[in-house]
Amino acid sequence: MLGGAATHFALSASFFHNVHVVGPVGDDFGEEELAVLAMRGTDVSDVERVSGGKTFFWAGAYGWDLNSRETLATELGVFEQFEPKLSTASRECDVLFLANIQPELQLAVLEQCSAPRFVALDSMNLWIEIAREALVEVIRRVDCVIFNDAELRQLTGKPSLVAAAREVLALGPTVVVAKQGEYGASLLTADGFFALPAYPLETVIDPTGAGDTFAGGFVGHIARNLDSGITDSLLRQAMAYGTALASYNVEEFGTERLQRLTPAEVTDRVQDLARMTHFEHDAYLVGRR
Amino acid sequence: MLGGAATHFALSASFFHNVHVVGPVGDDFGEEELAVLAMRGTDVSDVERVSGGKTFFWAGAYGWDLNSRETLATELGVFEQFEPKLSTASRECDVLFLANIQPELQLAVLEQCSAPRFVALDSMNLWIEIAREALVEVIRRVDCVIFNDAELRQLTGKPSLVAAAREVLALGPTVVVAKQGEYGASLLTADGFFALPAYPLETVIDPTGAGDTFAGGFVGHIARNLDSGITDSLLRQAMAYGTALASYNVEEFGTERLQRLTPAEVTDRVQDLARMTHFEHDAYLVGRR
């Protein structure tokens, strides 16, 4: 089934901004897959087709309530020998998202970009375990990490999310986003905390790619509004857009739902989320009756 | 250590309303414990001291990140032979909270109340396993269930919280509150959804009693404002008060923090929660730049 961080991310981010994708695919990545990746104007000229190679492959099993998942197979395939060479257009990007892959490769891409104004980073438990130093080096050089909350805990050894985020912020980033699956996501900065629940759904068909779809909406919204400055208010809105897009992603398998998603549908769920989290609090004070 | 559903609930609810506690304790429940239970004017005349009996005892072990816990011991003690006989004051209550205990006992208390206008119910996995029919019978007769989300899933066999809540609402209650530990709590009604994160804390010392403290703030706020009608707006505020109170409870062991908590501190965290969940969403629409 078509997936992959780049595909989910690009489909989502392309609602907000033009996207350039950098990465290798194998012979098994056909024209149809490329067409999905290129939907909504995404530039795929930096997608390198490796003859005889196999596209990155991940398989996992989700628990009954979809709140836990076990990795069954991670095959780096063409990523094993990949040496990124970015086109001029990609080098000049203002906003960069380093999707989950070996930290060394993430660094190689980052170093080719001339002057990105906002860099966000994803990773996974595997790299925390086997490439910790390299990962920390990348974290030092980005503005924002977008990790699962369990990964933040694993990375820092802190059971408290607040303490874990504080430790990551001390390394350099100014923004930590903790993805919490069904429970939503939290945004932690030096002096701010914001949390948003996931959009409530009666049925979740496939959570795969939800994190990358979230990142696409989050980073895409920031890219779209970069000239107004990256304020706390913008980051919070970006959380809502990421959450709305991720909620559509999980409604069907792979990228099926995102392929036919409309901007109006995205806006609808952002407004729903605002309603679902609002409460009036001024008129009431604690006090006995 | 002093604990127990009634103690945590009463300490919390007494910020909003006078509380009557019904239940048995053993010889091991001393004058000091009774004094804590009676703080802020709680009426303990329906607390029955059973000579030679042992107070209800629960012990559990929490996982490293405090998100999971395992029950090590549940000893009903004096609850095993308890036959509730409510005083007139308790019978005439407007608002009733049935804390976690055998469903048969919850029903016996409910049946002695003359005309409660709002009844909320807690329970636990044990009763879902061994007293399912009796529990469902109690659920049919209450207005609101306040369960952990895992318990809602276990009770209904539905992996989706939305689907699980729908099934519980179909039994009779008009309000379902899903407690989600570190991730906060969700409120589900026939046509509404509201979610609130837990208050973010750098250090959590002891999560025991957080659920009952939450219930105390939630039910207490409803009791205080009952005459204005149980609106969606009131229920949402009640979620915020429950969340604020629970956040203080976990900062120290047992009831230590709640014993010296002030109304102003509660209000502070409710206002913090409003700020931590607010985002502006009107000015921005999806659209490419």
**From residue B147, how far is each of A104, B110, B122, B212 by CA, in Å?**
46, 18, 6, 10
Of A15, A240, A286, the CB nearest to B15: A286
Residues 6+ apart with CB under 8 A from A283: none
The model's confidence at residue B263, banded by pLDDT at 50, 70 and 90, is very high
Partners of B240 on chain A (C-beta within 8 Å) are 279, 281
Tens of pLDDT, residues B72-114: 888 888 888 888 999 999 999 999 999 999 999 999 999 999 9
Instruction: Give yes or no for residue B282 having a pLDDT over 90.
Output: no
Helix (H) or strand (E) holding B28: none
Report which of residues A27 and A276 the model is more confident about.
Answer: A276
Report which of residues B126 and B68 the model is more confident about.
Answer: B126
| Least confident interval from A158-162, A242-246, B16-20, B76-80 | B76-80
The model's confidence at residue A282, banded by pLDDT at 50, 70 and 90, is low
Cα separation, B161 vs B159, in Å, equals 6
Pick the residue of A180, A286, A288 with the most B CBs within 10 A to test the interface with B by mutation: A286
For residue A64, give both structure tokens: 């009954």
pTM: 0.94
- CB pair distance less than 8 Å for A162 and B202: yes
Q: What is the DSSP pairing of strand B57-62 with strand A185-189?
A: unpaired
CA A172 to chain centre: 19
Please spell the DSSP secondary structure of A148-204, one letter per residue: EHHHHHHHHT-SSHHHHHHHHHHHS-SEEEEE-GGG-EEEEETTEEEEEPPPP-S--
Instruction: Give yes or no for residue B283 having a pLDDT over 60.
Output: no
Report which of residues B168 and B68 the model is more confident about.
Answer: B168
Closest CA relative to residue A171, chosen from A132, A194, A142? A142
The model's confidence at residue B67, banded by pLDDT at 50, 70 and 90, is confident
The answer to whether residues A56 and A79 touch, using CB atoms and an 8 Å cutoff, is yes
Q: Please tell me which residue of chain B has the smallest CA distance to A194.
A: B276
Instruction: Give yes or no for residue B133 having a pLDDT over 70.
Output: yes
For residue B109, give both structure tokens: 């208390």
The model's confidence at residue B287, banded by pLDDT at 50, 70 and 90, is low
The model's confidence at residue A28, banded by pLDDT at 50, 70 and 90, is confident
The per-residue pLDDT for A69 is 80
> SS3 for B210?
helix
The per-residue pLDDT for A202 is 92
Closest CA relative to residue A267, chosen from A252, A285, A247? A247
> SS3 for A98?
strand
- CB pair distance less than 8 Å for A284 and B237: yes
Average pLDDT over residues B133-137: 98
Residues 6+ apart with CB under 8 A from B60: B69, B70, B71, B72, B208
> SS3 for B78?
helix
Tens of pLDDT, residues A45-103: 999 989 889 888 888 887 877 777 888 888 888 888 888 999 999 999 999 999 999 99
Average pLDDT over residues A146-173: 97
**Residue whose tokens read 């596209």:** A55
- Mean of the per-residue pLDDT values for chain A? 92
The per-residue pLDDT for B285 is 58
Average pLDDT over residues A249-273: 95
Please spell the DSSP secondary structure of B101-129, one letter per residue: S-HHHHHHHHHH-S--SEEEE---HHHHH
Cα separation, B225 vs B240, in Å, equals 14
Partners of A224 on chain B (C-beta within 8 Å) are 287-289
- Angle of helix B161-171 relative to helix B149-156, nearest 10 degrees, comes to 70
The per-residue pLDDT for B1 is 61
- CB pair distance less than 8 Å for B237 and A14: no
**DSSP 8-class letter at A15:** T
The per-residue pLDDT for A287 is 62
Cα separation, B216 vs B6, in Å, equals 9
| Least confident interval from B70-74, B120-124, B256-260 | B70-74
Partners of B236 on chain A (C-beta within 8 Å) are 278-280
Residues 6+ apart with CB under 8 A from A257: A248, A249, A251
**DSSP 8-class letter at B286:** -
- For A225-254, what is the HEC assignment? CHHHCCCHHHHHHHHHHHHHHHHHHCCCCC
Determine what percent of chain A is predicted with pLDDT higher than 90. Answer: 75
Pick the residue of B279, B284, B285 with the most A CBs within 10 A to test the interface with A by mutation: B279
Q: Please tell me which residue of chain B has the smallest CA distance to A167.
A: B202
Cα separation, A106 vs A122, in Å, equals 10
**From residue A63, how far is each of A68, A207, A275, B159 by CA, in Å?**
5, 11, 30, 10
The per-residue pLDDT for A258 is 96
Partners of A280 on chain B (C-beta within 8 Å) are 233, 236-237
- CB pair distance less than 8 Å for A186 and B197: yes
Average pLDDT over residues B238-262: 96
> Distance from A53 to chain B by nearest Cα, in Å?
34
Cα separation, B157 vs A224, in Å, equals 43
Q: Please tell me which residue of chain A has the smallest CA distance to B41.
A: A288
Instruction: Give yes or no for residue A283 having a pLDDT over 80.
Output: no
Q: Please tell me which residue of chain B has the smallest CA distance to A161.
A: B202
- CB pair distance less than 8 Å for B65 and A153: yes
What are the φ/ψ torsions at residue A69 (nearest 5 degrees)? -145, 150
Instruction: Give yes or no for residue B163 having a pLDDT over 90.
Output: yes
Of A16, A239, A289, the CB nearest to B17: A289
Of B65, B197, B237, the CB nearest to A281: B237
Inter-chain CB pairs, A–B, below 8 Å: 164
Average pLDDT over residues A186-199: 96
The per-residue pLDDT for A2 is 65
- CB pair distance less than 8 Å for B233 and A279: yes
The answer to whether residues B51 and B24 touch, using CB atoms and an 8 Å cutoff, is no
- CB pair distance less than 8 Å for A284 and B221: yes
| Least confident interval from A13-17, A38-42, A88-92 | A38-42
